Amino acid sequence: MSFDPIHFQELTNRYLIGKLTPAEFSELETALRHDPEARRIYRQACRLDTQLRAKAQELETLKRRAIKRRNLILIPTAVAALAMIFGGVILFGNRGGARIAEVSNAVWNENNFAPGDTLKTGTKLDIESGSALIAFDSGATTLLTGPARFQIKSGNSGFLAFGAADSVAATPDSHGFAIKMPVATAVDIGTAFRTRVNRKTDSHVSVTQGEAGVDVGGKQHSLLEGMALEVKAGNPSVIVRIEEGDLTPAFKFPTIAAPSATDYADASQAMASVTIKGRLGLSSQNDADPATLNDGKGQTNGTSPREAFYFKGDEIGSIIFDLGSKVSLSKVNTYSWHEPGNEATLNAAFQSYTLWAYHGDEMPPVSDNPRIDGWKYITEINSDDYFEIADQKDRPRQQACSIEGANGNIGKYRFLFFDVKSSHFRNHDSIRAYDGAHTRFGEIDIYVDEN
């Protein structure tokens, strides 16, 4: 179907006064995304709209003065003349915020909103279930999915306190559209991105189309289409990336480096040692040597458990690295590979652990209460949550998880304690425990800042 500029102008006019139906809004958004002429018309209309509003404000001031002088003759005539400039429609409204474009099965905790409702700067939306599409004055849109809490910050930005939001910024005026979160800010550079905030205020950004920047404490991180990162709240905050590999022994990932033989903890460096502790009295390891964790390489294929290390059954296990002395920790990478086979293999194809650290020369006890024992909490990893996995069949077979300081190093420590959870603890609907239900770690790389 060819582009009809007159029809699109009418859609733009109706959008600017908040009168679009959901179907018309979808038509407008599609045209803006695919047609340069549509974007030109829209940009021109927005500029004229802004000028009209400024003039309307000026006239309102004159009107108030005229009322004081009891002279109202010229005001109605001037307003009517302005209306004629834009097809007889005077575009009053809120250009500093947004409006509700459509809702779907929305249940609100307070302040029920309906399509067409104006959302001024500062308006808070608390949606329990369902979804609501927010149309910002810049032309950007955000689909808010409950449960979520959101606030309009301006005509080109919002604040996501909790929940999930999918944003599209396809118009020239929406360049730089931003979703602020508790510990990060996502800024549009390209077209579309998804943001999520959990109840711990961890903030996740993934780019579905184009490019986005993520600001973490003033430090900028660029994400291209298909990339993601998560900023974990804490002291200090850390950035987590979990990526899917190319399913080859090369372990190639979009941004995370392949397993390395030159990291600080590699066996060839003779700087660190690794020990294993089981915590439920079960067999604490398979037949592989724990040295596979720092031998500088991953598995040669996804069906070689002897080239990896994992705990058996539903045991909670501990992987402990002694770095020999207190060092400035900059990054920790963990790698795994599971090819589909039986149910046990599927059950194991994810990474789930809590990372703790200790700075002293004498390692504290390893128990169910690491914090009480003196360990410093760094972060918690769960690749199912990161990838939003609903079915274990969708788990990436080859994974790399990278943890680094959000604004520098993670801290100065000697001991690292990986508190590893099995899938028995992740999948509460299953009471069965399988050999291999734990992640098969092929490599753990630890990087330090030696400056």
pLDDT tens string, the chain, 451 residues long: the values are: 577 777 888 788 777 777 778 788 778 878 877 777 787 777 777 666 666 665 555 655 555 555 444 443 344 444 334 333 333 333 333 346 999 999 999 999 988 999 999 999 999 999 999 999 999 999 999 999 999 999 999 999 999 999 999 999 988 889 899 999 999 999 988 789 999 999 999 999 999 999 999 999 888 899 999 999 999 988 889 999 999 999 999 999 999 999 999 999 999 999 999 998 865 433 444 555 788 999 999 999 888 878 888 887 666 689 999 999 999 999 999 999 987 655 556 667 889 999 999 999 999 998 889 999 999 999 999 999 999 988 878 889 999 999 999 877 999 999 999 998 776 434 434 333 334 467 889 999 999 997 6
Three-state SS at 281:
coil
How far apart, in Å, are the Cα atoms of 204 and each of 87, 96, 214, 275, 388? Answer: 44, 27, 10, 33, 11
Query: CB within 8 A of 247, min separation 6: which ones?
Result: 302, 337, 339, 397, 398
- Give the pLDDT score at 57: 58
Which tokens go with 423? 């899938």
Torsion of the alpha carbons at 74, 77, 82 and 84, rounded to the nearest 10? -170
Can you name the residues that pair with 403 across neighbouring β-strands?
A: 240, 332
| Reduced DSSP (H G I as helix, E B as strand, rest coil) percent helix, strand, coil of the chain, to 5 | 25, 35, 40
- Give the pLDDT score at 436: 42
Amino acid at site 255: T
How crowded is residue 243: how many other Cβ atoms within 10 Å of its Cβ?
22
Beta carbons of 187 and 197 less than 8 angstroms apart: no
- How far apart (Å, rounded) are the C-alpha atoms in residues 124 and 291? 53
Classify residue 29 by its DSSP letter: H
CA angle 359, 364, 370 (to 5 degrees): 95
The pTM of the full predicted model, rounded to 2 decimals, is 0.74
Query: CB within 8 A of 193, min separation 6: which ones?
Result: 166, 167, 179, 186, 205, 206, 207, 208, 209, 210, 212, 223
For 18-156, where are the E strands, in sequence order?
Answer: 98-108, 118-119, 124-136, 141-154
| 290 Ramachandran zone, left/alpha/beta (phi>0; psi -120 to 50) | alpha
Structural element, H or E, at residue 412: strand 411-420
- How far apart (Å, rounded) are the C-alpha atoms in residues 84 and 80? 7
Beta carbons of 378 and 238 less than 8 angstroms apart: yes
Three-state SS at 50:
helix
Q: Please, what is the end-to-end C-alpha distance for the chain in angstroms? A: 62
Beta carbons of 338 and 440 less than 8 angstroms apart: yes
Which tokens go with 100? 């509700």
Amino acid at site 102: E
Beta carbons of 188 and 167 less than 8 angstroms apart: yes
Which tokens go with 92? 């009053």
Can you name the residues that pair with 214 across neighbouring β-strands?
A: 186, 221
- How far apart (Å, rounded) are the C-alpha atoms in residues 122 and 114? 18
- Cis check: omega of the bond before 76, within 30 degrees of 0: no
- Give the pLDDT score at 254: 93
How far apart, in Å, are the Cα atoms of 338 and each of 228, 302, 355? Answer: 22, 5, 22
- How far apart (Å, rounded) are the C-alpha atoms in residues 140 and 206? 17
- How far apart (Å, rounded) are the C-alpha atoms in residues 253 and 444? 15
- Give the pLDDT score at 120: 94
- How far apart (Å, rounded) are the C-alpha atoms in residues 98 and 300? 53
Beta carbons of 141 and 134 less than 8 angstroms apart: yes
